[in-house]
Amino acid sequence: MFELADNSVFTKFEEDELQNPSPRKELDGRSIYLSRELEMIPGKLGAPVLCDFGSAMLGDVEHLEDVQPDIYRAPEVILEVPWWYSIDIWNVGCMVS
């Protein structure tokens, strides 16, 4: 996640959605919308922002829990061996590559 130097991208996104709504389908009483790209302007992204601490755990203790999305999962988690904060370093590497 990155901060935006210019919030007008959201205004344009809203206007586009009003003029040309995203396709959707109803499933089990829920609306599921087709994804729509944000038109990001090169050079308008700010600094990376840490977010989503919903699964945060203390780093000084080894863990065995199944964490991280499959595609970005650290080797320790895949191999089901004890892990600690080093898996966060793996995720930073995934983000910058």
Calpha distance 57→45 (Å, rounded): 29
Give me the catalytic one of 6, 28, 70, 88. 6
- Our answer to whether residue 66 is catalytic in this structure is no
Check: CB of residue 22 under 8 Å from CB of residue 36.
Answer: yes
Q: Kindly state the tokens that stand for 4.
A: 């935006």
Q: Which residues are marked as active site?
A: 6
